[in-house]
Amino acid sequence: MKIEHLGIAVKSLQKSDELFAKLLGKENYKQESVEREGVTTSFYELGDSKIELLEAANPESPIAKFLDKRGEGIHHVAFGVENIGAEIERLKAAGFQFLSEEPKDGADNKLIIFLHPKSTNGILVELCQEKP
Ligand SMILES: CC[C@H](C(=O)O)C(=O)SCCNC(=O)CCNC(=O)[C@H](O)C(C)(C)COP(=O)(O)OP(=O)(O)OC[C@H]1O[C@@H](n2cnc3c(N)ncnc32)[C@H](O)[C@@H]1OP(=O)(O)O
Ligand SMILES: [Co+2]
């Protein structure tokens, strides 16, 4: 398991891309919309991890709700795993709750699933596995 990415909720990808390119001294390597999640993402390589900027694609987006309640900032941490199915079983057996039954397609060619923040000490945790 490793930190695959840090998800950061932003109001404007255009403004935040300018800021993060300056901050990190490099451009994003992709911008990708994920309709089903209601987000547009922008990814930056950072050593073995990444930064994932997240803009709401519509008012119902989880990012829109997060921004309304908390403003811009760190939204979630994503752990990269080899076998997401095995990790789900392990964590369920350890008493962790998930926000969905099955993994689903995420951004950046990943299978993803989220744990409920109330079972992870108030941190939104995402598991992701590289799609074969
Ligand atoms: C395209 C995929 C991409 C990828 O990496 O591949 C992504 O990362 S997509 C990221 C955006 N998608 C999601 O976040 C999906 C999972 N999130 C959800 O289902 C909701 O956001 C949920 C259930 C976490 C909260 O939604 P809800 O409508 O219930 O909002 P509330 O404000 O009522 O929150 C309930 C409860 O959870 C706490 N909360 C909400 N968001 C977060 C957060 N980001 N981190 C920590 N805690 C969070 C909130 O404070 C409420 O707690 P309470 O104690 O009741 O106040
Ligand atoms: Co993510």
- pLDDT of res. 70: 97
pLDDT tens-digit readout, 31-42:
999 999 999 999
- Over residues 58-110, the pLDDT tens digits come to 999 999 999 999 999 999 999 999 999 999 999 999 999 999 999 999 999 99
Q: Is the CB of 111 under 6 A from ligand 1?
A: no
* Angle formed at CA 6 by CA 113 and CA 60, multiple of 5 degrees: 60
The reported pTM is 0.97
80 lines ligand 1 (CB under 6 A): no
Mutate to test the pocket of ligand 1, among 40, 42, 114, 125 (most ligand atoms within 8 A of CB): 114
pLDDT of residue 88: 98
- Answer yes or no: are the C-beta atoms of 78 and 5 closer than 8 Å: yes
Q: Mention every residue, 6+ apart, whose C-beta is less than 8 A from residue 35.
A: 57
Residue 132 banded pLDDT, cuts 50, 70, 90 = confident
Query: Where do the domains of the chain lie, and which CATH numbers do they carry?
Result: 2-130 (3.10.180.10)
β-pairing, 110-115 vs 125-130, is antiparallel
Residue 74, pLDDT score:
98
CA of 54 to the centre of ligand 1 (A): 13
Q: What ipTM score was computed for the predicted complex, to two decimals?
A: 0.97
> Is residue 28 scored above 90 in pLDDT?
yes
